[in-house]
Amino acid sequence: MLKLLRNTIAEKGILTDKSNKQIRWQYVKQLYELQDQEGLRAANRLKRNHIEWFQQKMKVSLAAQVLSRSVASALEFVSKDLCLPQFADADATVAFIRIVDRLFDALNSKSWHAKEFKSVLRVSNQHFWRPFLIDTREYLLQLKIGGIFLHASPRKTAVLGFAATITSILGLFDAHVQNGPLPYLATYRLSQDHIELTFNVIRSRGRWNNNPTAGQFRGAYRQLLLKHNIKPTTTGNVVSQEDMEILSVDSMPTAEQQCVISTADILRSGALQYDAIQSSDHSYCIIPDRVALTEFSEDIVKYMAGYVARKLCKKLGCDGCKSLLLSYDKVACNCKLLNRKDKGGL
């Protein structure tokens, strides 16, 4: 359903909500172009694959990353905080993406300890998620495309699918949790991800044969049953969200473990001279004398720096070190680690 909804807004370009405000795919494309031009991303995963999605339209991860909270926050940042003119009317698009993201989380809940919409559905928190699901069903049924309701158009499958799923989830909760023996309802257990991941593994045993004969399927399945630790690959249209064994096969090194890139290669790719690194105490000292950042890039760098500072402050026991991280002014620090002469400090 998520892929179909992404396909609809990407192909048609404009949807209209119940307030007659326009939801535009153009804002997502402009955000990608802005980030690509600046060389920094505003805490989201937008790449060319997400914009040119048609070549990989079966991958749920691409649709989920486009219609995600991080993209909505980035659009809100450039439209409200930076006031960029090309994002002036992005409010309806931001609201649409947030609603779809929360709905996706609510329909894929699997942990009791998760927060907000990612938590499992239980009686104690139904005041939080039940009104949202009911309002979201109404919101989706009020979406229009070209002046007619989306659920009455040829592209009705996504909206009707989500509406039917919401109705089913509410009915299951009332029958088996509210008035039944279950303590909670983990909606991810109801998805078809598990069987798709199993088929992913079986296809990989047959050299990615999408149309095996009965004998080939039997041979692949028998081979899996005799082994252990099988894991689905990342090339399928569904990504595993849990550390659980579907079937078993011997562990093999992943692509990340097989491909090791040295720091020198990374620095060479950034047009830095390797000889200059060897003559310097620290490689991070090799930076341009003057860096001119746009307001967009400057805010992203501040966010990244603040994140690093917060993480370090949780582990540092020296108040002087924390002050050096969080203050613009030079602060005296008696930390032995900073003042070690043999190591030149931190």
Residues 4-52: tens digit of each pLDDT? 999 999 999 999 999 999 999 999 999 999 999 888 889 899 999 999 9
Rounded alpha-carbon distances, angstroms, from residue 78 to 15, 41, 87, 268: 21, 12, 7, 33
Please indicate, yes or no, whether residues 110 and 140 belong to a single structural domain of this protein: yes
pLDDT score of 344: 42
Please indicate, yes or no, whether residues 185 and 210 belong to a single structural domain of this protein: no
Residue 184 lies in a domain: yes
Q: Are 173 and 125 in contact (CB under 8 A)?
A: no
> What is the rounded radius of gyration, in angstroms, for the C-alpha atoms of the chain?
25
Long-range pairs of 271-277 with CB within 8 A, sequence gap ≥ 24? none
Alpha helices of the chain — where are they, by DSSP H? 2-12, 26-38, 48-51, 60-66, 69-76, 91-106, 126-141, 157-173, 193-205, 214-225, 255-258, 263-269, 274-278, 295-315, 319-326
pLDDT score of 309: 87
Please indicate, yes or no, whether residues 185 and 103 belong to a single structural domain of this protein: yes
d(CA 58, CA 45): 18
Task: Please compute the mean of the pLDDT values over residues 259-280 and round it to a whole number.
Answer: 46
Task: Please compute the mean of the pLDDT values over residues 110-117 and round it to a whole number.
Answer: 89
Residues 6+ apart with CB under 8 A from 154: none
Q: What angle do CA 47, 5, 44 make, to 5 degrees?
A: 25
Residue at which a domain ends, from 142, 166, 190: 190
Residue 291 scores a pLDDT above 80? no
Give pLDDT tens digits for 184-208.
999 998 888 778 877 777 777 766 6
Task: Please compute the mean of the pLDDT values over residues 60-66 and round it to a whole number.
Answer: 91
Please indicate, yes or no, whether residues 178 and 245 belong to a single structural domain of this protein: no
Please indicate, yes or no, whether residues 142 and 238 belong to a single structural domain of this protein: no
Residue 324 scores a pLDDT above 70? yes
Residue 120 lies in a domain: yes
Please indicate, yes or no, whether residues 99 and 171 belong to a single structural domain of this protein: yes
Mean pLDDT value across the chain: 80
Please indicate, yes or no, whether residues 63 and 147 belong to a single structural domain of this protein: yes
Residue 57 lies in a domain: yes
Please indicate, yes or no, whether residues 154 and 29 belong to a single structural domain of this protein: yes
What is the pTM assigned to this prediction? 0.70
What is the domain extent for residue 15?
2-190
Residue 239 scores a pLDDT above 80? no
Residues 6+ apart with CB under 8 A from 36: 48
Rounded alpha-carbon distances, angstroms, from residue 213 to 32, 207, 219, 225, 308: 44, 13, 10, 18, 54
Residue 335 lies in a domain: no
Residue 320 lies in a domain: no
Task: Please compute the mean of the pLDDT values over residues 81-103 and round it to a whole number.
Answer: 94
Residue at which a domain ends, from 190, 222, 243: 190
pLDDT score of 94: 95
Please indicate, yes or no, whether residues 171 and 242 belong to a single structural domain of this protein: no
d(CA 173, CA 183): 10
Of the candidates 71, 69, 47, 43, which has an alpha carbon nearest to the alpha carbon of residue 59? 47
Please indicate, yes or no, whether residues 205 and 287 belong to a single structural domain of this protein: no
Residue 104 lies in a domain: yes
User: Percent of the chain scored above 90 by pLDDT?
Assistant: 45
Please indicate, yes or no, whether residues 163 and 273 belong to a single structural domain of this protein: no
Total of domains in the chain:
3
